[in-house]
């Protein structure tokens, strides 16, 4: 863990180094992924069967066996404790309510020249949702990716989840059912992305693919981009906590570690104005690391990428937050709403001392798929907007065209586009 102090002479250089540290090593899998995509495009379902045997360690009987049936979902989810299903349901309800509130309205604007200008939002027809297999197969991510699509009005939500050894995660299936996923396929990797983008005899193509995955999945999404839309490629997770000395140091310590336990590349940063409080949090982190089941991972993240930054005042802290543009931001200050007003760049903010970021990971309602690695400067979390697109429209009468058409003719001629000019001029009076 690094300690920085804004009053130290070396601060500017140290903070710049913190900003510039790449926390992720990227592996080059371009060629391998291109080969898999080419195989799926050429051989369709047969390629999916081969890839599944090769990479996932089980051999589907035929293409139909790639699809998870309703009966299989019912059987797999039958043993889930009622309390856990109720928690999933509460989360789903709250995520639905928040994302429904995001839905934008269409526009229809009469204008001074007598035209009408408008904008219509339409849902995508079909979306593919990639869900990682094994340990990183999180039911909460299924809710967060699928519910905004369903709320937007997407009719087909096709989920692909690799099943190493053929085994499915029951809670992931329960989340898929609750979220409104319409098709589940037990395929993964670049072959799943290729199948969703290009389609096979048994899997219809989608229009956009979302959801996290390993290096092969990320590269496959890059390669099919253009054929379909994709979401952004997420990097390691991060949190910045702004906390004054009235907070419980142990709460702050566990909040930092909740981020750090994701993986060794995660980053947790505390910003405070009180050196004694910073010491208390750092000590509490060490104590918690000793009892935390994922302490080895969290400890590695904290030592490599963790930081405590001491500021002279909160204005300084807000300026640092805007340069960090963190994925998650906890504002544990007396007036968190006033603090939020100073923040221009953050994926999601958590206000007050009773609002740990983990609440947002599961049940608060806003999405937990958020921009990482300073991309909150220009990117946003997943939302209904990812599953909607706009058609703008113009309606003109003869009078409306007469009012603004001559300007179009002048500009088209200046650009040397005579057919453009003529298509307007032919319709002008006289």
Binding residues: 130, 191, 214, 237, 259, 262, 328, 361, 415, 420
**Binding string, residues 383-402; x marks residues near a copy of itself by CB under 8 A:** x-x---xxxxxxxxxx-xx-
> How far are the Cα atoms of 271, 297, 303, 326, 373 from residue 2, in angstroms, in the given order?
12, 17, 8, 17, 18
CB of 125 to a copy of itself, least distance (A): 7
Among 34, 63, 117, 215, binds a copy of itself (CB under 8 A): 117
Q: If binding is defined by CB under 8 A, does position 283 make contact with a copy of itself?
A: no
CB of 226 to a copy of itself, least distance (A): 7
Q: If binding is defined by CB under 8 A, does position 304 make contact with a copy of itself?
A: no
Judge whether 345 counts as a catalytic residue: no
Residue 21 burial (10 A CB sphere; 0-12, 13-18, 19+): exposed
Give the separation between CA 109 and CA 398, rounded to whole angstroms. Answer: 18
Judge whether 328 counts as a catalytic residue: yes
**Number of residues in contact with a copy of itself, rule: CB under 8 A?**
122
Q: If binding is defined by CB under 8 A, does position 69 make contact with a copy of itself?
A: no
Residues 235-254 that bind a copy of itself (CB under 8 A): 248, 250-251, 254
Residue among 271 and 364 whose Cβ is closer to a copy of itself: 364
The encoded tokens of residue 261 equal: 């336990």
Residue among 25 and 392 whose Cβ is closer to a copy of itself: 392
Among 32, 46, 119, 215, binds a copy of itself (CB under 8 A): 119
Residues 75-104 that bind a copy of itself (CB under 8 A): 83-84, 86-88, 90-91, 94, 97-98, 101-102, 104
| Residue of 14, 327, 345, 357 marked active site | 327
Binding site feature residues for substrate: 237, 259, 262, 328, 361, 415, 420
Q: If binding is defined by CB under 8 A, does position 61 make contact with a copy of itself?
A: no
**Binding string, residues 20-59; x marks residues near a copy of itself by CB under 8 A:** ----------------------------------------
Tell whether the torsion through CA atoms of 234, 237, 238 and 239 is positive or negative.
positive
Among 34, 65, 245, 358, binds a copy of itself (CB under 8 A): 358
Q: If binding is defined by CB under 8 A, does position 128 make contact with a copy of itself?
A: no
Among 135, 313, 315, 430, binds a copy of itself (CB under 8 A): 135
Residues 181-240 that bind a copy of itself (CB under 8 A): 207-208, 226, 228-229, 233
Residue among 8 and 335 whose Cβ is closer to a copy of itself: 335
Q: If binding is defined by CB under 8 A, does position 350 make contact with a copy of itself?
A: yes
Show which residues are catalytic: 327-328
């Amino acid at each position: 863990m690094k300690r920085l102090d804004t009053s130290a002479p070396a601060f500017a250089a140290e903070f710049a180094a913190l900003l510039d540290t790449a926390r992720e090593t990227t592996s080059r899998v371009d060629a391998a992924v291109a080969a898999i995509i080419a195989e799926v495009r050429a051989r369709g379902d047969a390629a999916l069967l081969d890839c599944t045997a090769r990479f996932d360690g089980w051999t589907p009987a035929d293409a139909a066996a790639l699809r998870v049936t309703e009966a299989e979902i019912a059987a797999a989810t039958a043993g889930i404790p009622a309390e856990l299903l109720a928690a999933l349901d509460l989360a789903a309800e709250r995520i639905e309510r928040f994302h429904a509130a995001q839905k934008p309205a269409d526009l229809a604007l009469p204008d001074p020249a007598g035209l009408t200008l408008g904008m219509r939002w339409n849902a995508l027809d079909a979306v593919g949702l990639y869900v990682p297999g094994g340990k990183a197969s999180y039911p909460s991510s299924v809710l967060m990716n699928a519910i905004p699509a369903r709320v937007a009005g997407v009719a087909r939500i096709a989920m692909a989840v690799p099943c190493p050894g053929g085994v499915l995660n029951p809670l992931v299936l329960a989340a898929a059912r609750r979220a409104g996923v319409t098709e589940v396929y037990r395929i993964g990797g670049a072959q799943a992305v290729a199948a969703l983008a290009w389609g096979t005899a048994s899997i219809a193509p989608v229009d956009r693919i979302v959801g996290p995955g390993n290096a092969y999945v990320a590269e496959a999404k890059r390669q099919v981009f253009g054929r379909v839309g994709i979401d952004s490629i997420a990097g390691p997770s991060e949190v910045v906590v702004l906390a004054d000395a009235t907070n419980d140091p142990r709460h702050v310590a566990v909040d930092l570690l909740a981020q750090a336990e994701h993986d060794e590349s995660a980053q947790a940063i505390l910003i405070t104005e009180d050196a004694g409080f910073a010491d208390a949090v750092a000590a509490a982190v060490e104590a918690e690391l000793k009892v935390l089941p994922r302490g080895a991972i969290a400890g590695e993240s904290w030592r490599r990428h963790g930081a405590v930054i001491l500021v002279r005042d909160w204005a300084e802290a807000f300026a640092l937050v805007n340069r960090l543009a963190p994925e998650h931001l906890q504002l544990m200050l007396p007036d968190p709403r006033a603090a939020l007003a100073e923040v221009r760049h953050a994926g999601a903010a958590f206000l007050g001392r009773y609002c740990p970021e983990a609440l947002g990971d599961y049940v608060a309602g806003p999405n937990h798929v958020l921009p990482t690695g300073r991309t909150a400067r220009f990117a946003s979390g997943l939302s209904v907007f990812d599953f909607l697109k706009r058609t703008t429209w113009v309606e003109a009468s003869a009078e409306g065209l007469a009012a603004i058409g001559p300007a179009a003719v002048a500009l088209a001629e200046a650009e040397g586009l005579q057919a453009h000019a003529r298509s307007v001029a032919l319709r002008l009076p006289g």
